[in-house]
Structure 1
Amino acid sequence: MLNNILNNIKKKSLKERFLLVLGILFFLLYLVLGLFIIFMKNFPLAMQPIYRIAFGLLLIAYASFRFFRIINDNND
């Protein structure tokens, strides 16, 4: 499986590889931001904890969606 992914990456053009790296970067950004919002005790915005957790989970769900899109696009 990993060998197949690496072969697909090598076959991509420079532009496609750049977009892949950019997609992974934004996936990690949304994931870390969601975790940061959930677990930060001194959150700078006045939000109730339930809304803060819901917003963090929404960001993590969006990160998961982006991750699966990256995986599906990489299989092509």
Structure 2
Amino acid sequence: MLKNIVDNIMKKSLKERFLLVLGILFFLIYLVLGLMIMFWDMLPLNMDPLYRYAFGVLLIVYSAIRFLRLINSNTE
């Protein structure tokens, strides 16, 4: 299965590979940002903890949606 994914990536043009890397980068950025907002107390956000956790979960769910879209577009 991994060999098929690697072969599929290598068949893509340079532009498509760049967009794939960019998509993975932004997935990781949203995931880390959501975790930082939820668990890093030193982050200077003046928010109620309930809203902090809700915003962090929202960012993590958004990153998961981006990841699923990236995986689905990669298999085509």
* TM-score when normalising by structure 1: 0.97
Task: Supply the distance in 2 between the matched residues of 1:62 and 1:45 (Cα, whole angstroms).
Answer: 20
Letter in 1 for 2:71: I
Moved >3 Å (runs of 4+): none
Task: Supply the distance in 2 between the matched residues of 1:12 and 1:43 (Cα, whole angstroms).
Answer: 40
**Sequence identity, in percent?**
67
1:5-16 pair list within 5 angstroms: 5-16=5-16
* 2:64 matched residue in structure 1: 64
* TM-score when normalising by structure 2: 0.97
Shift of 1:45: 1.9
Number of residue pairs matched by the alignment: 76
* Structure 2 unaligned residues grouped into runs of 5+: none
Q: Deviations over 1:31-65 (max 9, x none)?
A: 00000000011231210000000000000000000
* 2:4 matched residue in structure 1: 4
The root-mean-square deviation of aligned C-alpha atoms, in Å, is 0.6
